[in-house]
Homo-oligomer: A and B are copies of this chain.
Amino acid sequence: MDILCRCINSCFVLSHGIRGGSEIYLVLEGGDCAPKTVRIEGSSVRYLNPDERSTASLIRNACLKKIPASREVVSSPGVFVSARGFADVLSDLDGKGTFVYLREDGADIRGYGFPEDPIFVLGDNQDLEPEEEDLLLARNPDRIRVGPVSLHADHCMVLVNNEMDRAGAE
């Protein structure tokens, strides 16, 4: 859970505000009621603070929500939950952007030409399962890495946001 909270922080939290153009999908494939996907929209999320504890509450409340099999429901403003797994989420995102796979053997992010709507995919503290990776690779994603050292997912996301900030500022 704690790595997910830190990822949400890295995805959205600025010194003075929230990254309104960002969106995160937390695909939870473990536990009794898996799969579940918690989606957070930067443009509408509320009650999002930098600390892990309050963010954990947002996720926990979302996971406790009763979910119809067929659709996504609102858990709190800007936080949505559904019974989707990794394959479903990829399918839903098909056509909505370019998949970008964060891997240590990818091309250096510096010099990467960001597509208009990048959809970054990365594992938490574990790599994607082979079946999950196959589903992603079938979509021919770009592959990038953030640096020479292996980092946790939340730190990778800070580096990706910085690179996009720089690309946007040019």
Q: Give A contacts to B, CB under 8 Å.
A: 2-3, 6, 9-10, 13-16, 50-53, 125, 146-152, 155, 158-159, 162, 165-166, 168-169
Contact = CB atoms under 8 A, between A and B. Distances in A.
Contacts of A149: 14-15, 162, 165, 169
A51 to B, nearest CB: 4
11 contacts: A2-B50, A2-B51, A6-B50, A13-B155, A14-B149, A14-B150, A50-B152, A52-B53, A146-B162, A148-B168, A149-B169
A168 B149 CA distance: 10
A75 B168 CA distance: 45
Given A150-B15, A166-B148, A52 B50 contact: no
A6 B2 CA distance: 12
B159 A16 contact: no
